Structures are given as structure tokens and as C-alpha cells.
Structure 1
């Protein structure tokens, strides 16, 4: 049995206030733990690294069901485009996605943390932590029994504590077109193209404030290349009905993990979650739902353990991390076998449709 001790300033320090970090902090706070969250950005909605597209399960099964209606927009279909821009419309019974006003969604999450009694320190970066007894001395914060790194694809917590680092990434960039409405606003438009998106896809989606246009490709640190945003936009503009007069506004960009860390995600008193732990689908790069679930599991396990009601959270966290084994096979195929002409020919086939349904809907859907 282990109980929280007054020898510590905090029961839990979480680094990162995005989805995984917020979930971890909220879960722990429900038990009355003393929780501090460090977020290096002064504005949690600035300089984003996420598309903010949320799957049905996350909306219906997690804290995110409380998101204000004004911050989300329901999308029920996926229109999948071959490189030659032929397309097929996919759907699954009762399935949907939510696109979001992502900057304000993350600001709302920050308000939820504060309302739950979490000490949220905006504009404060994690710099270093050293082990002190069974806990950690976190520079600029104080003594903490547990330290959780939810600080993204290039986690400083992982680096400073000797945990595994994710080495395989995609690099994505997304532009916002404020106030624009697509003719087919109820679909997530997804584009395959070895020219524009080797190793991944491009996408166009309606959100509550306008249209987001994104492009991602396999990241090679030795031969890094910038996505051809202008070329991609010219390629897809007419297909999705984006007006020629629409002007790009805010841009978000960053690395997205598509592999597992090269070492453990836990050590005594420290745990990684979210992107820092590689908890992102290696194929779709979707991570909000899985990161939220893992972050919540970590926060819940820490609280139960400190209350003497559960096993060591390090083991719980390691066991709860998804492996995405089947999707890693498809990731290998996308990295090594992607060609445009087979996709041009196969888009309408049943086999291609089943693969797409598994990726986007996690189960068999239907073509409409």
C-alpha cells in the first residue's frame, strides 16, 4: 500500500496540456490528487500539431462528450480519392467523426483542467528532473511522486529520464481557410498520391470555422523535404470545390509518430503517454482517442495506487499501450510499396474498399 505523502509538493506533475496530458490530469484530479500540468505555450490553442479530428468513440465514451456544440462539426462520410482524382464515398452505419475548432477546443480543455482543481502552468517549459527517493525533483516545480511525459513526438521528459524515444515520424502541415464552406461539407476528403504525400495522405475537411487542408509525408531526417502545399492545393481545389478566392490563414505543422519508442515508456515514478509513447495509429496517424484513453488510464492508475487500491501504475501504463500490430504491416506496405497506378485502377474494387473501411471506420462500412 502506498499513500500520498506531504513530503511531496505534488502527487503528479504532467508535462503537456494536449489530449493525453489533459486526460491524465483530469483522471487523477477526480481522486483529489495534487496535480500540476506544465504547458510550454502561453496559449494552449497556439502553434498546434494536431488536426483535431475526433472519432465517434472519443466523443461518446470520454470526457470529450462535454465539448461545447459550437466547437465541433459532425462528418459522416469519407470521400476517398485515387491519384487521378476519381473517388468513392464511404460510410459506416451510425459512424461519424467530429472536426473541431481546435484552438478553442484546447483552450476549453485548459478551462476544464482548472475547473477540476488542476494547477495549470501555461508558458512554463519542462527543463529537467532528477530522481529523489521514489519521486522526482522537477526543476522550477518542486517534488513530485510521479512524473508523466505527455509532451509530444520529441519528448523532453523521455530524453531527460532515459526512456524510449520515437524515431519514426510523419511530417504534416495543415492550412486553415476561415469562413469557407465546402459543397460536400459532410465528408472527410482523403487523397492518396505518391507525388504529394509519399507514405501518407492529403486531406480536406469542413470544420466549425472554415476548411482545413492538410498534407503529410514520411519524414526522413537525413533527407527532409517540405510538403508541396501549393501544388497539392492546386491539385485538389476543383475536386473539393474550394473557391479560387479562398485564402489560407493559420498554418499548423509538426512531426507525427508512426512507430514505437526505441525503449521503455515507463521507469519507477515516470511514465510516457500520447505521442511521446508512440500511441498513434501508424497508418492513419489518428491519435486523439487512443492517447486520451491511455492518458486517462495512467492518471487513474496513479491515483488508485497512491490510495492503496491498485497495482503499480508503471505496469498498468505499459500494458495499456496499444501495439497496432496489423496497422504496422500496412504501414510497411505504404512505406515500401506505394505506387499511384495501382490505386488509380483499384479504387472501385471491393478489396480496396474493405481496406479503407478498416482504416477509417475500424470496421466494415458501406459504399454510398
Structure 2
């Protein structure tokens, strides 16, 4: 489908931006850089003054993202390669899992986010730190965005409680996990070359707990199903007392930074793009309902949205709203697994079947991305 000519790049007004992106994390950065590479005028609004402050991501990058996206340029000192998963049953029996050639990158996440901000600026993006999105008004040929001016397209990459979604009347995430993670600077696990994952209905109903060695220390986290009617805070201290020795975490550590926040777990939102406003990343529910991993999917979707906006404005290609919806992963199998896990999670099957071929096969599908949307 071609444009009628009124939306081509040459017709852009002399002021304002082709694209305003709200949020400078992985999805927002991918969208902005992809559009800027095609010559669009791009502005990113980020409410934090320091992109590495108050994070809500584990920063663990899967192989696909590490090799097939701009994230392959993250400086090596900011990452640590992990090639094995150790899966622990509620009894703390464990099984080691690996796949030939597969790995994860644990990261110095605050430093990675600051590096990403530098990449935005290096690509000519107008990055405005300490500038929160507060309002936007629909106008001819786009949006009037407070803090940025006129935008021909507005993209919300502003997290699970997206203000862009609410202001633009787009779909909102309704189902969440709630996670909390401690950072232990300078700490060393007894087995640092594995991602340690713990199943426990007591401490993590609906999800898992984890320990990982990153370039600056140890990160330890716990997440559970979030019920707004009966909000439960993860008991990460009790969890670490239970699993710390088994996972090789030194005793008597005091955490440094703490991360916490909501994680979408119901798949892409309905009505994620309309009237020149588009959602991506957590704001669009682009997070695996099973693993809660979102960096790779968020980057790919954000990149597709940025390229689509550029192709539409530059070349008259299809409306980017259509592309955004089509590019969103459906997670059909994972949504079914999420439904089952929410309703059928019991500790005893994991204790009983931990070393069985079916459970090992299922775990490898989840952790090593032998997966289908």
C-alpha cells in the first residue's frame, strides 16, 4: 500500500520530530536507532536523569540478541558469558542443563543502559534525560507531545504501566508478575558459570527465583504472580535463606542496589497501535509469558517499529501501525503454559520428575530458546 503523498518525509514541517519515543530502555532505544539510521528526526524522552538508575530488568541477554542485534556491540567488560542452567526442584535437588553453542550474557546492567544512551546520541537521536512524558494531544499529522513538541509518530516504550497507552487510548497490560532483585557487589558464587533457577510454590508461585554471576557481583531475584486484590510482596530474604547455600551464595551478604517492578505475563496487548501512536516492549506486553524474558523480543519489535515508521515516511510503505501489530510475537504456546502454570503448579511433580527426560526436554525448550511463538 502506497502513501497518497501527504505523509512523505519531504512534506515534514520545519519544526518538531518525525518520531518521539518515550522510554530509553531496550525497546525504545531499538526503535529510535532504527528510525534514525534511515534519516528520521528522532527524540527520546526518558524520565530518569541517569539511564542506569532504578532499573527493572535483570539485564540477562540471550544468545539471539547478543549475536543478531546492535547488542553484539556491548563492550566485553560489561558482560559475562554463562553456558549452563542449573534447575533446582523445591527440595533443592538439581539438574544441570546445557545446549551446544547456546549461552546467556549476564551484564553490568546499569553500565549497559548508559552505553545504550551513548548509542542513541551517536546515531543522532535527541535524547532528553530527566524528561518524563506527561501529556500528548492529537493534532493534524501526528501528536503534540509535552516536552518534545510536534511528533508525526509517537511510540510508547515506557514500561508495564504505560502513560502513553493511557493517554492515547491504546491497550494496557492487565496481568503481571511482580519481581524483586538484589545486587551483591563483589560477591562470588561457588559455581559462577551457571544460571541458577529455583522452583518453589511457597516463595515463587507462578514463576521462579534465580542467582547469577554478573561482571560486578551476584544478582539474586524472585518473582511471583501479581494479584492486585491480594498483593503479595516476594519474600526474597526468606528465599535466599532457603536456597543460598545450595546455590553457592556466600553467607552474611548485604545487598547493594535493589530492583523491583511489574513484569507483563499475558502476551501482547490488544489495540497496541492506532492513530499514529504505537506501543512496544513492556508497554505492549512483548514479554514471554513463561520465562518473563523480554530483551530480545522487545529489541526486535522496537526495531521493526522504527524501521516501519521510516519506511512509511520515507518511501510511502504500509502504515507502521499495521506493521507493529503484525510484528508482535503471539506467544500462543507460552500463553497456554502460563495458564497451566498459574492453575496447576505443585511442588511434588518437580521433586519427583526433576531428572526425567520429559521435564528435561521441557526445560530445554524454555531456557535454550528451542521455542515457537
5 Å matches for 1:61-72?
A: 61-72=68-79
Mapped partners of 2:167, 2:277: distance in 1: 11
Residue 255 (str. 1) matches residue 269 (str. 2): no
State the SS of the aligned residue for 1:238.
coil
What stretches of structure 2 of length at least 5 have no aligned partner? none
Q: Does 1:107 align with 2:114?
A: yes
Correspondence for 1:267: 274
Match of 1:353 in 2: 360
Give the CA deviation at 1:263: 3.0
Secondary structure at the aligned position of 2:245 is classed as: helix
Aligned residue in 2 for 1:3:
8
Indicate conservation of the 8 Å contact 2:89/2:198, yes or no. yes
Instruction: Quote the residue 1:162 is aligned against.
Output: 169
Q: Secondary structure at the match of 1:48?
A: coil
In 1, Cα distance between equivalents of 2:272 and 2:255: 38
Counterpart in the other structure of 2:313: 306
Q: Distance in 2 between matches of 1:9 and 1:18?
A: 23
Distance 1:261 1:71 in 2: 30
What's 1:123 paired with?
A: 130
Superposed displacement of residue 246, structure 1: 2.3
Counterpart of 1:180 (choices 181, 184, 187) is: 187
Q: What per-residue deviation string (whole Å, max 9, x for no partner) do you get for residues 146-191 of structure 1? A: 0000000000000000000000000000000110111211100000
* Deviation per residue, 1:196-219 (Å, 9 max, x gap): 000000000000000000000000
Does the CA-based 8 Å contact 2:87-2:196 persist in structure 1? yes
Of 41, 48, 51, 1:44 maps to 51
Other structure's SS at 1:79 match: strand
**1:320 paired residue number:** 327
Structure 1: 5+ residue stretches without partners: none
Contact preservation (8 Å) 1:81, 1:191: yes
Shift of 1:260: 3.5
Distance 1:261 1:55 in 2: 20
Kindly indicate whether residue 215 of structure 2 is the aligned counterpart of residue 208 of structure 1.
yes
Tell me, what secondary structure is at the counterpart of 1:146? Answer: strand
CA distance in structure 1 between the partners assigned to 2:330 and 2:209 by the alignment? 25
In 2, distance between residues paired with 1:296 and 1:263? Answer: 20
In structure 1, the partner of 2:340 is: 333
Aligned residue number for residue 62 of structure 2: 55
Distance in 2, Cα, partners of 1:270 & 1:134: 11
Equivalent-residue separation in structure 1 for 2:350 and 2:258 (angstroms): 29
* Matching residue of 1:219: 226
Instruction: State the SS of the aligned residue for 2:267.
Output: coil
Change (3 A) 1:359 1:261: closer
- Cross-structure match for 1:277: 284
TM-score (normalised: structure 2) = 0.96
Per-residue deviation, 1:363: 2.0
| Alignment pair present for 1:142 and 2:149 | yes
TM-score, structure 1 normalization? 0.97
1:234 aligned partner: 241
1:188-199 → structure 2 map (5 Å cutoff) = 188-199=195-206
